[in-house]
Chains A and B, each alone.
Chain A
Amino acid sequence: MSAAADRSPQAERRDEGLRFYQTGTFAVGGRLLAEHQRTVQSQPRRPSSLTKGHRACQGCGEALGARYALDAALRAAGGRLIAANATGCLEVFSSPYPESSWQLPWIHSLFANAPAVASGIAAALRAKGREDVRVVGQGGDGGTVDIGLACLSGMFERHDDVLYICYDNQAYMNTGVQRSAATPPGARTATTEPLGGHPGNDFGQGKSAPLIALAHEIPYVATATVAELHDLEAKVARAMEIRGPRYLHLLVPCPLGWGSEPSETILIARLAKESGLFPVFEAIDGAIHAVAKIRRQVPVREYLRRQRRYAHLFADGGREDVIDRLQAAADRNIVRFGLLEGSAPLAGDLLGAPAPGELDDLSGAQAP
């Protein structure tokens, strides 16, 4: 590795006072940047993990995210990378025989077992002394957060040398947009129709896989979106410098499931982050050490109104109450994760423990 690669491009840019924001363009060229700071995709001899011919919908965030993430991982691994993929859109659109789009060794076994298959590959490589070959496990939010969670947790706690990437499009897309535990409240899916007074998906349910990963105190946990591809690549590169279990949770808008314009995938991902609904952070050894600050804060309705899965919140009469609750959720994230310039994440809050001094005294409480 070159000396320059010892520091992340992001850190270097910070030092130089230069920040890279993507605006209305899909280009990730960065002619303003030094050669070594440019994205993997802008390299003339970039790796190409997921190549042409796949069948993802137009504007699919998952296809984009997978390509950027895996190309960055391939580069970091010097081309020596094996991927284990869960069942789901990514698997189906990329692989049907004989038209696989994968240019790296790739295996699909089942829906729930991608982390365990990846663990098995890692164990085989360890037994064979093949330290040079690295392993990625990947799947959708359903395959990761719901049905695959036990395998994922096992992979984390055993400290297996796997980078696991969850492509979060917030529902079971491959089976026709049903609710998963990553579906946000208020969203309409095929199993959370806004009927009978329900707001779409109900409030008070679901779970945060990144925080669950954090609680395992694994060496690396990060979230990212396809709106900030430099950030995504930098996180993959950083994750690949570490051995042991690593988790990357990537928000990938799905035009089909979200009812959004294919041309607005990047915009919508950015609004998810800029509204505070999707906090972008990075954690090392169980502690958050960096968050992506909100650059231009937007009210959640700016994010919501571009997606037909939230159309019922705006239709006749609308559901201001639901929009307010979603705004409150975003505001809570903003405080909790310290998403505004000049603020910091709440100490002790992220794993649910109150900050010191706020601790309730339970000594007099009745035993349950």
Chain B
Amino acid sequence: MAEQIEASVAIATAVARCRPEVLCAYPITPQTHIVEALSRMVRAGDLAPCEMVNVESEYSACSVAIGASAAGARAYTATASQGLLYMAEALFNAAGLGLPIVMTVANRALGAPINIWNDHSDALAVRDCGFIQLYAADNQEAIDMHILAFRIAEQLSLPVMVCMDGYVLTHAIEPLELPSQEQVDSFLPPFAPRQILDPDEPMTIGAMVGPEAFTEVRYLAHLRQQEALDAIPALAQELSERTGRACGGLLSGYRTSDAALVVVAMGSVLGTLEVLIDEMRGEGLSVGALAIKTFRPFPRAEVAAALGGAARILVLERAIAIGAGGVLTDSVRWALGARQTPLHTVIAGLGGRPITRRSLRPVLEAAATGGLGELHFLDLRQDLVDRELARCRSSARPGPHAEAILREIGIVGAGPV
């Protein structure tokens, strides 16, 4: 039965039902409500046996999770943005050690300029760290993906990041269904670690490896992620059978089978896209959307198959690879192989700028008719950019762009609405 609940609290409850033994986190917006709710459960004794470690940094959060997981405990942490990058070294380490830590990333932009609102720059910046990366399109999926994440992580002995859009998802209050404790228990067996620090069977974990074996070790890590391409749909199916709804997976297509133009995207923008696609379909335009739910491992063959019928592809990116363009674009192009399907990259929703149907519609229409360039920035105020460029040319010390642009717009402290 659905209950009206703040998504962060729902995520915390879902995590609690996975019976974690060690929780560790450092506060960062917009992850805080998840951790606060978990902390309350531990303090009240509702989540036991479980240790909550209030660490002094995200680097420590990931490191505490590493120690806890290596000692055989189910470990969970959550972060976002600057915090995720502050963990970077430990992320690669946790993955390299094959420790099945589960982490929520409440996706948020990266500074400078510092910005607390949503985009995908944070998780995409660490896309190659060895964590599996799942991207939730809505809060129900975010809940289910967390339960899935623990099972995937422990079955494959790999850490998993569940990425959910900061604020847009984390702070929404809506009716959500929480899997019952019995449902979770029947899906998620107790953690049986593949390696453990145990005085009865002493082992050395994390020692140095030279060029003699490093390539093979890395290749095996890659293979393990490839295994996840089979495991994720199978486990998602198994969870679906218990909950009676679709629960994550690799991809999902919305009206793609006969679509001439397919929009590829990750995260909460899928909801907007579906409504828009319905509208445009009503007007006779042949459009569909492909949601990437698993970005690491990248489901190359599945993406290629899903895009097989598309005459044109639009990759909607909530991040920018500065100096290159899109991040997801590269993977989609790789999936297409030798196929020369025209492909457009649209950078949208950076630092919390809303992605509206009104803005998307003309872009999709232009793409459908071949009238869109290769790289497009949604809602970019070219007039502001041009004036700022001119201003900078006329001064040797022009100061921050952000300040000048906000002065021009005449609003401070809020994005354009």
Write the residues of chain A forming the contact surface with B, with a CB cutoff of 8 angstroms.
79-82, 84, 91-92, 95-97, 100, 102-110, 112-113, 116-129, 133, 150-151, 153-154, 157-158, 160
Interface string of B43-68 (1 = CB under 8 A from A): 00000011101111101100111111
In the complex the two chains form, is A123's CB within 8 Å of B53's CB? yes
In the complex the two chains form, is A81's CB within 8 Å of B207's CB? no
Stretch in B197-205, B273-281, B378-386 touching the partner: B197-205
Measured CA separation A157–B60 after assembly (Å): 13
Measured CA separation A301–B278 after assembly (Å): 86
Given contacts A110-B93, A116-B55, A120-B65, contact A128 B205 (CB under 8 A): no
In the complex the two chains form, is B53's CB within 8 Å of A97's CB? no
Which of chain B's residues have a CB closer than 8 A to the CB of A126? 51
Q: Which residue of B lies closest to A107 (CB)?
A: B205
Which of chain B's residues have a CB closer than 8 A to the CB of A120? 22, 24, 53, 63-71, 75
Which of chain B's residues have a CB closer than 8 A to the CB of A160? 53
Measured CA separation A185–B59 after assembly (Å): 31
Which of chain A's residues have a CB closer than 8 A to the CB of B388? none
Given contacts A105-B202, A118-B67, A124-B75, 14 further A-B contacts (CB under 8 A): A91-B207, A97-B204, A105-B205, A109-B93, A110-B93, A116-B67, A117-B63, A120-B63, A123-B53, A127-B22, A127-B50, A127-B68, A133-B199, A151-B60
Write the residues of chain B forming the contact surface with A, with a CB cutoff of 8 angstroms.
21-22, 24, 49-51, 53-57, 59-60, 63-73, 75, 89-90, 93, 97, 196-199, 201-210, 213
In the complex the two chains form, is A127's CB within 8 Å of B207's CB? no
Measured CA separation A81–B202 after assembly (Å): 10
Which of chain B's residues have a CB closer than 8 A to the CB of A82? 71, 197, 199
In the complex the two chains form, is B63's CB within 8 Å of A151's CB? yes
In the complex the two chains form, is B90's CB within 8 Å of A124's CB? no
Nearest-Cβ distance from residue B212 to partner chain A, whole angstroms: 10
Nearest-Cβ distance from residue A228 to partner chain B, whole angstroms: 29
Nearest-Cβ distance from residue A70 to partner chain B, whole angstroms: 12
Q: Which residue of B lies closest to A120 (CB)?
A: B67
In the complex the two chains form, is A153's CB within 8 Å of B56's CB? yes
Task: Name A117's contact: one of B57, B64, B196, B210 (CB within 8 Å).
Answer: B64
Task: Name A110's contact: one of B51, B89, B196, B204 (CB within 8 Å).
Answer: B89
Measured CA separation A92–B206 after assembly (Å): 11
Of all A-B residue pairs in the complex, the 7 with the closest CB atoms, nearest first, are A120-B67, A154-B56, A124-B73, A116-B63, A124-B71, A113-B63, A120-B64
In the complex the two chains form, is B204's CB within 8 Å of A100's CB? yes
In the complex the two chains form, is B71's CB within 8 Å of A150's CB? no
Measured CA separation A361–B90 after assembly (Å): 49
Which of chain A's residues have a CB closer than 8 A to the CB of B75? 120, 124
Residue from B54, B59, B70, B207 with most neighbouring chain A CB atoms (10 Å): B207
